[in-house]
Structure 1
Amino acid sequence: MTNPEQHTTVASTDFKVGQFAMHGQVKLTTDGNILLYESTGPFNIETIKAFTAARASIHLKLDASKPYAAIVHWRNSALMPLDAFAAYEAGYVKFLRENQCPHALAWASGPDVEGMDFMIARFTKVFDEHGINFKCFATTAEARSWVDSYNINSAS
């Protein structure tokens, strides 16, 4: 269990980017050095750009001297157009150049999330290219159990 003071929340809606309205939302919460994402799609490029800013902002709340992990809980849809995916990939590559890679990245989604299999294939390619330890699960409990096996929030 982590200290409640170690919890910070930031959302893509906290950042205004572009001239068009955002479609979809990503909420990020810290739990020690574990990032918890609530991703509700479908997403457009404005949401992805705002998410990129939110991720950079919340990453500053992590203890950079320790490993971190992330759990993404997908809701409704994982779909995004090609321009949004390209923006995600460019933002993630830049993020990885400036920060350490996550020790573990877990995705959780039920069978009702639109486009999940399609998007897993696209994202897996990006994660594999950068050596990300990535795994998908049917529930957030399974994802959390896998992430917890890396002892990210253990006292050292």
Structure 2
Amino acid sequence: MEKDPPHAPISTDQFQPRYFRPHGRIESRVHGNLVVHEAIGPFNQEIIEAMAVVLRESLQTLKQQGRWGQVIVFRQSALTSPETLSALKAYTTQRSKDGLAPVATAYVMDASVEGFHLMEAPFRNVYSESTVQFDIFSTEADAITWVKAQL
């Protein structure tokens, strides 16, 4: 991690939905040019909107700082619907077009995470047409090392 202390956590719990509450929870901490998200699933489509809203300001700050990366650590479950995956792909594509995408994204899923084998291919597909370098790891330490090497 960077020597700078992390900023206060940002959470999808801060999101006020229009219709349906997000299923799942994502808490994010910014450590210099690295964002570490803890994602507790399963997830529904509303989690993507919640994440976009609560991270908007942080993404602008990261963009101004230069190259940055992110690590998403899954807990409990990585399961989600095809609609949620489509929304995530659209969000990722739009962030790239807006210049707000990270250089690299690493997911962390070990055998304790429900659906870790089922979700690997769909998650890789989300980033397949993106400019973001992407990989999946079983440990947070390996994911952080890889992301930092891409920066």
Q: TM-score, normalised by structure 2?
A: 0.88
The AA in structure 2 aligned to 1:140 is E
Indicate the SS of the match to 2:71. strand
Q: What residue in structure 2 maps to residue 3 of structure 1?
A: 4
Give yes or no for contact 1:56–1:95 (8 Å, CA) kept in 2: no
Listed as ranges, the matches of 1:12-27 within 5 Å are 12-27=12-27
Partner of 2:143: 143
Partner of 1:123: 123
CA contact (8 A) 1:9 1:27 kept: yes
Superposed CA RMSD in Å reads 1.8
Show the 5 A alignment for 1:88-127. Answer: 88-127=88-127
Q: Check whether the contact 1:33–1:69 (CA below 8 A) recurs between aligned residues.
A: yes
Question: How far apart are the structure 1 equivalents of 2:101 and 2:88?
Answer: 16
* Match runs of 1:60-79 below 5 Å: 60-79=60-79
Gaps of 5+ in 1: none
* Count of aligned pairs between the two proteins: 150
TM-score (norm 1): 0.85
Aligned partner letter, 2:3: T
Measure, in 2, the Cα distance between the counterparts of 1:18 and 1:81.
Answer: 20
Amino acid at match of 1:123: F
Is the CA contact (8 Å cut-off) linking 2:60 and 2:100 kept in structure 1?
Answer: no
**Cα distance in structure 2, aligned partners of 1:65 and 1:96:** 16
**Are the structure 2 counterparts of residues 62 and 2 from structure 1 closer, same or farther at C-alpha, using a change threshold of 3 Å?**
farther
Give a deviation string over 1:4-38, Cα, whole Å, max 9, x none. Answer: 2x524211111112322321001111000111110
1:39 match: secondary structure:
strand
Q: What is residue 40 of structure 1 aligned with on the other side? A: 40
Structure 2 gap segments, 5+ residues each = none
Distance 2:16 2:100 in 1: 26
